[in-house]
Amino acid sequence: MQRLTGMDASFLYLETATNHMHVAATAIFDPSTVPGGYSFEKVRDLVDSRLHLLPPFRRRLLTIPFELHHPLWIEDPDFDLEYHVRRAALPAPGGEAELAEFAEQVMARPLDRDRPLWEMYVVEGLEHGHIATITKTHHAAIDGVSGAELTVNLLDLSADAPPTPPPDVPWKPDRIPSDLELFTYALNSLSRSPVRGYKAARRTVATALNLRRRNRSADVHAPPAPFSAPRTPLNVAISPHRRFAFTEVALDDVKMVKNALGGTVNDVVLAMCSGALRSYLDGKGVHPDRPLLAMIPISVRTDEEKGAMGNRVSSMFVSLASDIDDPVKRLHAITDGTRNAKEQEKAIDAGTLASDWVEFAAPALAARAARLMSRMQAGGRIGPMSNVTVSNVPGPSFPLYSAGARMVAMYPMGPIIDGSALNITVMSYMGSMYFGLMACRESVPDVWDIARGINAALDELKKASDGTTAPKPRKPRSTAKAVKPG
């Protein structure tokens, strides 16, 4: 029995019927490498054999009477693996459109809070004989531990990995305590940390206010402040339903652009998103009066926080320079912007914007900050905090396997919140960058257009860099991959 930290619990409090606080990933596997052939049971047995390495998978919430204190985690005495790992299939031809439609329906449903907060769908019937897994986990369950650690414990470095040794100490489910016991336990510990949960939010708000203050100075290089974003159709209240689109580019192509035109891999990714969103809004006749503003989750550790508590999460706000017509000048403006933002934050690991999956947390934190901000500024008029969330999660460059099947693609699925109806999360794996675009079904029904625009924006940048350095031979998979369904 263990009480949730304030930050973990905050993801429960923030969740509404439309703003779900779970994150997910769609991974595609080639089962031809499975020794003896694929079966659903092998995947479920793999999860079963590793449950002791995946503590959040058997923990469920217990809420405290009268909500006196944060909920508790207990080892679920009714744990039922069959409930969590589900077999499913796509209709023919099992292509991107069918997979995305299945994934968006999974993402649109809240997790059952009376059970461990995760579900895994093993999806058969993909084209090329592939299999997909869609793993959905609540933020409250993976914020305290490293989300990356969970993933690693379900994947292997080879197709014929040895069986997992059983745990040293067998798992012991908890008894569900009575309401009276919970009540007493909560009262006893209540004096300890009643407001701890709000400090992170205050810190985020403080950061936002600091940024605003700096922005008012004469320094022209200051990054844009949150709430300086223009209003667009992406910045509205969201429904519970989702649209999911995805696409893939070759990491070598992105690096070629970076080497020819300057900036980092992340800057080129932002420039691709900028180009895609510019075209998308232009096609709708929407011409924002200011450049679009991206919120980028970043990992921020202070020295005193390093260690047991895992990651702290903050956000960086970067202009997408979408008011600049020339794609090269646009990339340069973005590069200047991220450099300034990084200098200002002075807290970002070199080479990565985000060090692991925990940065998915940032949108939720920001939502809380946004609500506090609105309350503080009640009566005034503020714009959207940002136009889009862009997150870049570096992944391995070597192949991974699950139950013997080789992973061939991994599309991350980040959360969206009121006021920010589009989340673009990018993950690199085996020389490719996989873009997952999660959107509100009602406000961004045509999110596949944005996915196609990402490939088009990279092509534009590649063309512009052709004269600058000798272009490397293009990989076939770098061409436009996203095809609008239907």
Minimum CB distance to a copy of itself smaller for 17 or for 308 = 17
Minimum CB distance to a copy of itself smaller for 41 or for 466 = 41
- What does the block give as tokens for 256? 């070629």
Distance between CA atoms of residues 14 and 325, nearest Å: 39
- What does the block give as tokens for 73? 């985690």
Positions that interact with a copy of itself (CB under 8 A): 40, 78, 83, 86-92, 98, 101-102, 105, 109, 112, 114, 124-125, 239-241, 441-442
Minimum CB distance to a copy of itself smaller for 34 or for 341 = 34
Minimum CB distance to a copy of itself smaller for 91 or for 351 = 91
> Does the bond joining 93 to the residue before it have cis omega, within 30 degrees of 0?
yes
Minimum CB distance to a copy of itself smaller for 124 or for 174 = 124
Give Cα 52 to chain centroid, integer Å: 25
Minimum CB distance to a copy of itself smaller for 125 or for 230 = 125
Minimum CB distance to a copy of itself smaller for 102 or for 280 = 102
Task: Please report where in the chains the tokens 């914020």 appear, as a residue.
Answer: 143
Minimum CB distance to a copy of itself smaller for 86 or for 339 = 86
- Least spacing, CB of residue 380 vs a copy of itself, in Å: 23
Cα 22 to Cα 16, 106, 140, 452: the distances in Å are 11, 11, 8, 26
Cβ of 241: how many Cβ atoms within 10 Å?
A: 16
CA dihedral 6, 7, 8, 14 (to 10 degrees): 100
- CB of 100 closer than 8 Å to CB of 244: yes
Q: Nearest 5 degrees, angle CA 459-CA 462-CA 466?
A: 140
The catalytic residue positions are: 139
Distance between CA atoms of residues 87 and 104, nearest Å: 16
- Least spacing, CB of residue 75 vs a copy of itself, in Å: 18
- Least spacing, CB of residue 130 vs a copy of itself, in Å: 14
Give Cα 343 to chain centroid, integer Å: 24
- Least spacing, CB of residue 231 vs a copy of itself, in Å: 21
CA atoms within 13 A on the CB side of 204: 30
Distance between CA atoms of residues 311 and 314, nearest Å: 10
Minimum CB distance to a copy of itself smaller for 7 or for 90 = 90
